[in-house]
Amino acid sequence: MANSSPKYVCQECGHEAHKWMGKCSGCGAWNTLVRETESADVEARVPDLTTDGQNGQGSANRPTQITEVDLGEEARLCTGVDEFDRVMGGGIMQGSFSLIAGDPGIGKSTLMTELGGYLPTRTILYVTGEESKRQVKIRAQRLGVDSDALYLLAETNVQEIANAVETVEPDLLVADSIQTLYRPDLTSAPGSVSQVRESTASLLKLTKEREFATFLVGHVTKKGTIAGPRVLEHMVDTVLYFEGDQNHAYRILRSVKNRFGAANEIGVFQMREDGLHEVPNPSELFLSERGYGVSGSTVVCSLEGTRPILVEIQALVTPTSYSTPQRTVTGFASQRLQMILAVLEKRAGLAFSDHDVFINVAGGVRLEEPAVDVGVAIAAASSFRDIPADTGAVLIGEVGLGGEVRTVSQIEPRLKEAAKLGFDRAVVPENNLERIAGDYEIAVSGAEQLREVVDIVL
Ligand code: TYD
Ligand code: MG
Task: Point out the ligand nearest to the CA of residue 131.
Answer: 2
CA–centroid distance, residue 111 to ligand 1 (Å): 9
Residue of higher predicted confidence among 444 and 60:
444
Task: State mean pLDDT over 7-36.
Answer: 83
The CB of 106 under 6 Å from ligand 1? The reply is yes
pLDDT confidence of 50, banded at 50, 70, 90?
low
Please give the Cα distance from 18 to 110 (Å, whole number).
Answer: 41
Return the top range by mean pLDDT from 59-68, 227-236, 284-293, 296-305: 296-305
CATH topology for 285-457 is Ribosomal Protein S5; domain 2 (3.30.230)
Is residue 374 within 8 A of residue 397, CB to CB? The reply is: yes
CA–centroid distance, residue 15 to ligand 2 (Å): 27
What Rg, from alpha-carbon coordinates, does the chain have?
25
CA–centroid distance, residue 132 to ligand 2 (Å): 11
CA–centroid distance, residue 81 to ligand 2 (Å): 21
The CB of 107 under 6 Å from ligand 1? The reply is yes
Least confident of 57-71, 82-96, 214-228, 328-342: 57-71
Q: What is the pLDDT of residue 335?
A: 95
Please give the Cα distance from 101 to 98 (Å, whole number).
Answer: 10
The minimum-distance atom of ligand 1 relative to the CA of 142 is 22
Q: What is the pLDDT of residue 4?
A: 58
pLDDT for residue 438 is more than 70: yes
| Mean pLDDT (the chain, rounded) | 88
pLDDT confidence of 49, banded at 50, 70, 90?
low
The CB of 366 under 6 Å from ligand 1? The reply is no
pLDDT for residue 18 is more than 70: yes
Q: What is the pLDDT of residue 40?
A: 45
CA–centroid distance, residue 62 to ligand 1 (Å): 47
The CATH architecture annotation of domain 74-280 reads 3-Layer(aba) Sandwich (3.40)
Task: State mean pLDDT over 255-264.
Answer: 90
Task: Point out the ligand nearest to the CA of residue 242.
Answer: 1
Q: Which residue from 138, 271, 272, 276 has its CB within 8 A of the most atoms of ligand 1, so it is best to mutate? A: 271
CA–centroid distance, residue 83 to ligand 1 (Å): 18
Q: What is the pLDDT of residue 42?
A: 46
The CB of 115 under 6 Å from ligand 1? The reply is no
Is residue 399 within 8 A of residue 343, CB to CB? The reply is: yes
Residue of higher predicted confidence among 152 and 233:
152
Give percent above pLDDT 70 in the chain. Answer: 92
pLDDT for residue 63 is more than 50: yes
Least confident of 26-30, 281-285, 325-329: 26-30
Task: Point out the ligand nearest to the CA of residue 277.
Answer: 1
The minimum-distance atom of ligand 1 relative to the CA of 108 is 7
The minimum-distance atom of ligand 1 relative to the CA of 176 is 6
End-to-end CA distance of the chain: 72
- Beta carbons within 8 Å of 385's beta carbon, 6+ residues apart: 295, 350, 458
Asked if domains 74-280 and 285-457 share a fold, the reply is no
pLDDT for residue 205 is more than 90: yes
Task: State mean pLDDT over 16-28.
Answer: 87
CA–centroid distance, residue 282 to ligand 2 (Å): 25
Residue of higher predicted confidence among 228 and 314:
314
Task: Write down the pTM of the prediction.
Answer: 0.80
- The amino acid sitting at 105 is G
CA–centroid distance, residue 153 to ligand 2 (Å): 15
pLDDT tens-digit profile of 367-425?
989 999 999 999 999 999 999 999 999 999 999 999 999 999 999 999 999 998 999 99
- The amino acid sitting at 72 is G
Task: State mean pLDDT over 347-362.
Answer: 93
Is residue 117 within 8 A of residue 91, CB to CB? The reply is: no
Please give the Cα distance from 242 to 287 (Å, whole number).
Answer: 21
* Residue spans per domain, the chain: 4-45, 74-280, 285-457
pLDDT confidence of 56, banded at 50, 70, 90?
very low
Least confident of 274-283, 298-307, 361-370: 361-370
Please give the Cα distance from 35 to 185 (Å, whole number).
Answer: 17
pLDDT for residue 122 is more than 60: yes
Task: State mean pLDDT over 283-309.
Answer: 89
pLDDT for residue 244 is more than 90: no
Q: What is the pLDDT of residue 96?
A: 95
pLDDT tens-digit profile of 141-170?
999 999 899 999 999 999 999 999 999 999
The CB of 273 under 6 Å from ligand 1? The reply is yes
Is residue 266 within 8 A of residue 254, CB to CB? The reply is: yes
Task: State mean pLDDT over 47-66.
Answer: 61
Residue ID of nearest Cα to ligand 1 atom 23: 275
Q: What is the pLDDT of residue 1?
A: 44
pLDDT for residue 44 is more than 70: no
Q: What is the pLDDT of residue 192?
A: 84
pLDDT tens-digit profile of 309-351?
999 999 999 999 888 999 999 999 999 999 999 999 999 999 9
